[in-house]
């Protein structure tokens, strides 16, 4: 299972370009009487994310030999949904962040009301893109329904929103490891797991493949979140694009704050190995997923 | 087309009870580490709405002889989506309302952060309910896809959110009638039209029926919004459950403020007649829709 010669950098930049072109085509033009809200949507989606979640949809689909055309609307939907969550998390009533990826946050540019609405519109657009007739012809409708369900479940009160709520409710508190695990799993891992799973569903994967790929994504998601928390302590502010140490200042519950940084690093590595071993039954079409797992741990931002 | 003997009061209370029972069953229980956000969702959904939108799904489906079981998840989804829009509209950064239906608004009870998250979770839950396997077995998957698309389109930046954005952007301004029409159509009519349309889609209506029922719902929606604006001037505070005159204080763009109250009343009546005439090709199964149209104009709250 040696995968050392896969060129991840080229893969990521090709997929990012594909996703960015599709997003630009499918996001609404900033015209008409509600133009500023559409401008706010485009501003935040365009603010230079890593596009990890949509790429995981493409890579998850590739592992089961999907038609990439069938994955692109869902990939863009996932990025819209992720962007909505960042816009709302940054609001004054939530994390009150002024910077995101080195740029002013949505509400700093457009005001709170339009930022709330831009987030709402992006969340809604996610489900529109998943089902828009021009984009989804040729995909089995059962697969689309299932993918919509997986997305909604991973994003809602039993997924990402539940994690964000638990995070806010526990700020400044000393928490049990089980609360920390709940927050990490729900805030990040649920949606990363859903990304890989949606790729596998839309790509027509067998049931056991879908389950394995979901578990790979969830495991990767936990590693991803721990790595984020480590970067917030040890990362380079210039590279990350936001101030270091914000978790500590906001008294966020993080893996390093509960277990210490060395244990956090060991845990991230252990999860990485587990994620990669879940891919054992898959052939070379799962190379992108293997390489992404390593990248998640090695990344500097 | 005499429909005088249809007992709308019994119909509405029976359907409200059906919807309220289903909502209670399908909304998440307020347990676990994110319990307060689920409590906030239940608080706002339970705050005694008229359930007009979900009832329009049931009534729209009945007009094409739908199986009511196939409509109930979408009806609850629509009410969740409507409730999310109220929670977010009431936020300090938006309309800054303290009362809704005579009770403190969500953010007054749970704080802004949880109110934002409860709204996000309800919007997301709408799409989960539309596609949850246990609730949707037996419905053609193509119809579910189409209904999800119609819901998302009517709710997003090209529908309700666009209307709310234009409303906020034009507060305190003197606007052209075309801006007023944009706001009314997008803020209210789009979602009422979508409700009737979704009932017709899930109920297996013919294409021409679906189009007519959508137009009925949109026309009704415009009448509904004008009536809302009239009630805000002439209504009874006790019956409505919120202070009268809030539109004027907030310098909202309304039909009466642009055209005067008498013209507004005449317009609402004209739209009512148009909505009812759109139902001409339908038989007695469209009685609820006819009676609802009259109720929208006659209502006191």
- Note whether residue A1 is domain-resident: no
Q: Which chain B residues contact residue A163 at CB under 8 A?
A: 34
- Note whether residue B213 is domain-resident: yes
pLDDT digits (tens, 9 = 90+) for B122-133: 999 999 999 999
* Environment class of A206 (CB within 10 Å of its CB; exposed 0-12, middle 13-18, buried 19+): exposed
CA B109 to chain centre: 23
B162 and A91 in contact by Cβ < 8 A? no
Out of A128, A151, A157, name the one closest to residue B41 (CB).
A157
Q: Which of A152, A172, A179, A180 to mutate to test the interface with B (most CBs of B within 10 A)?
A: A152
- Closest C-alpha among B167, B188, B153 to residue B94: B167
pLDDT band, residue B62 (cuts 50/70/90): very high
- Closest C-alpha among A193, A248, A185 to residue A218: A193
Beta bridge mates, A99? A104
pLDDT digits (tens, 9 = 90+) for B65-96: 999 999 999 999 999 999 999 999 999 999 99
In the predicted structure, residue B22 carries a pLDDT above the cut 70: yes
Q: Which residues contact A152 (CB under 8 A, 6 or more apart)?
A: A127, B124, B125, B127, B128, B131
Q: Over chain B, what is the mean pLDDT?
A: 93
- Note whether residue A2 is domain-resident: no
Q: What is the pLDDT of residue A252?
A: 78
CA B289/CA B301 separation, integer angstroms: 19
Q: What is the pLDDT of residue A4?
A: 61
Q: What is the pLDDT of residue B2?
A: 43
ipTM reported for the complex, 2 dp = 0.95
Query: Which helix (H) or strand (E) is B44 found in, with range?
Result: helix B35-45
Q: What is the pLDDT of residue B241?
A: 67
B186 and A125 in contact by Cβ < 8 A? no
| Contact status, residue B41 vs residue A157, Cβ threshold 8 Å | yes
pLDDT digits (tens, 9 = 90+) for B173-197: 888 889 999 999 999 999 999 999 9
Q: What is the pLDDT of residue B250?
A: 74
Highest-scoring range by mean pLDDT, A135-149, B161-175, B227-241: A135-149
Counted across chains A and B, CB pairs separated by less than 8 A come out at 174
Q: Which chain A residues contact residue B133 at CB under 8 A?
A: 146, 149
CA A8/CA A20 separation, integer angstroms: 18
Out of B41, B91, B141, name the one closest to residue A116 (CB).
B91
What is the count of structural domains for chain B?
Answer: 1
Query: Which chain A residue's Cα is nearest to B126?
Result: A152
- Note whether residue A294 is domain-resident: yes
Distance from CA of B220 to the nearest CA of A (A): 23
Location of structure tokens 């959110």: B161
Q: Which chain B residues contact residue A183 at CB under 8 A?
A: 33
Helix ranges, B203-286 (H): 207-234, 237-240, 246-249, 255-259, 261-277
CA A227 to chain centre: 14
Q: For chain A, list residues with pLDDT below 50.
A: 1-3
Q: What percent of chain B has pLDDT over 70?
A: 97
Q: What is the pLDDT of residue B264?
A: 93
pLDDT digits (tens, 9 = 90+) for A241-272: 667 777 777 777 788 988 899 999 999 999 99
Query: Which chain A residue's Cα is nearest to B145?
Result: A131
CATH number at residue A27: 1.10.600.10
- Closest C-alpha among A218, A89, A84 to residue A150: A218
Collapse the DSSP code of B99 into the 3-class scheme (helix H, G, I; strand E, B; otherwise coil) and give the result: strand
Q: What is the pLDDT of residue A297?
A: 84
Q: Which chain A residues contact residue B124 at CB under 8 A?
A: 123, 152, 155-157, 161
CA B129/CA B84 separation, integer angstroms: 14
CA A258/CA B147 separation, integer angstroms: 45
Q: What is the pLDDT of residue B59?
A: 98
Q: Which chain A residues contact residue B111 at CB under 8 A?
A: 93
Location of structure tokens 């009925």: B216
- Note whether residue B3 is domain-resident: no
- Note whether residue B39 is domain-resident: yes
Q: Which of A96, A138, A156, A194 to mutate to test the interface with B (most CBs of B within 10 A)?
A: A156
Q: What is the pLDDT of residue B1?
A: 41
What pTM does this model have? 0.95
- Closest C-alpha among A23, A43, A39, A40 to residue A31: A39
Q: Which chain B residues contact residue A155 at CB under 8 A?
A: 124
In the predicted structure, residue B3 carries a pLDDT above the cut 60: no
* Environment class of A160 (CB within 10 Å of its CB; exposed 0-12, middle 13-18, buried 19+): buried
The residue segments making up the domain with residue A102 are 8-298
Out of A113, A140, A183, name the one closest to residue B168 (CB).
A113
CA A96/CA A105 separation, integer angstroms: 9
CA B264/CA B258 separation, integer angstroms: 9
């Amino acid at each position: 299972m040696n995968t050392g010669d896969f060129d991840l950098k080229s893969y990521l930049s090709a997929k990012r370009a594909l996703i960015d072109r599709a997003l630009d085509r499918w996001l609404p033009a900033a015209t008409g009487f509600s133009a500023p809200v559409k401008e706010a949507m485009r501003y935040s989606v365009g603010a230079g994310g890593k596009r990890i979640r949509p790429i995981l949809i493409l890579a998850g689909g590739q592992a089961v030999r999907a038609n990439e055309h069938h994955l692109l609307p869902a990939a863009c939907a996932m990025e819209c949904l992720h962007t909505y969550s960042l816009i709302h998390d940054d609001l004054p009533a939530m994390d009150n962040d002024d910077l995101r990826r080195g740029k002013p946050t949505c509400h700093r540019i457009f005001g709170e009301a339009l930022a709330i609405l831009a987030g709402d519109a992006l969340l809604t657009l996610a489900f529109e893109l998943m089902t828009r007739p021009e984009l989804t012809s040729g995909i089995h409708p059962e697969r689309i329904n299932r993918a919509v369900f997986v997305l909604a479940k991973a994003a809602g009160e039993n997924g990402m929103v539940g994690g964000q709520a638990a995070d806010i409710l526990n700020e400044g508190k000393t928490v049990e490891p089980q609360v920390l695990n709940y927050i990490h799993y729900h805030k990040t891992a649920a949606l990363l797991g859903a990304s890989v799973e949606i790729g596998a569903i839309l790509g027509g994967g067998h049931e056991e493949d879908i389950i394995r790929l979901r578990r790979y994504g969830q495991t990767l998601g936990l590693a991803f979140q721990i790595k984020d928390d480590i970067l917030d302590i040890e990362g380079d502010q210039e590279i990350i694009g936001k101030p270091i140490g914000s978790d500590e200042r906001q008294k966020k519950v993080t893996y390093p704050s509960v277990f210490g940084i060395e244990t956090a690093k060991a845990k991230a590595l252990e999860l990485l190995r587990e994620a990669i071993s879940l891919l054992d039954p898959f052939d070379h079409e799962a190379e992108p997923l293997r390489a992404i797992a390593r990248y998640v741990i090695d990344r500097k931002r």
